[in-house]
Amino acid sequence: MTARKEKLATGVLLWTFWLVDALSFGAITGNHGHISIGLNFAEQFALLVLLASWVNSDARMRRQSLCYDFDFFIYVAWPFALLYYLFLTRGLRAFLTLLGFAVFFVSAILAGYGVFWLLTR
| Collapsed DSSP state (helix, strand, coil) of residue 33 | coil
Q: Is the pLDDT of residue 95 over 90?
A: yes
Reported as a single tens digit per residue, the pLDDT across 41-76 is 888 888 888 888 888 888 888 888 887 888 788 888
* Cα–Cα separations (whole angstroms), residue 121 to 21, 22, 31, 65, 69: 20, 17, 13, 50, 47
Decide if pLDDT at 105 tops 90: no
> Are 93 and 100 spatial neighbours (Cβ–Cβ below 8 Å)?
no
Tell me how far apart the alpha carbons of residues 74 and 101 are, in angstroms, rounded to a whole number.
Answer: 16
| Model pTM score | 0.75
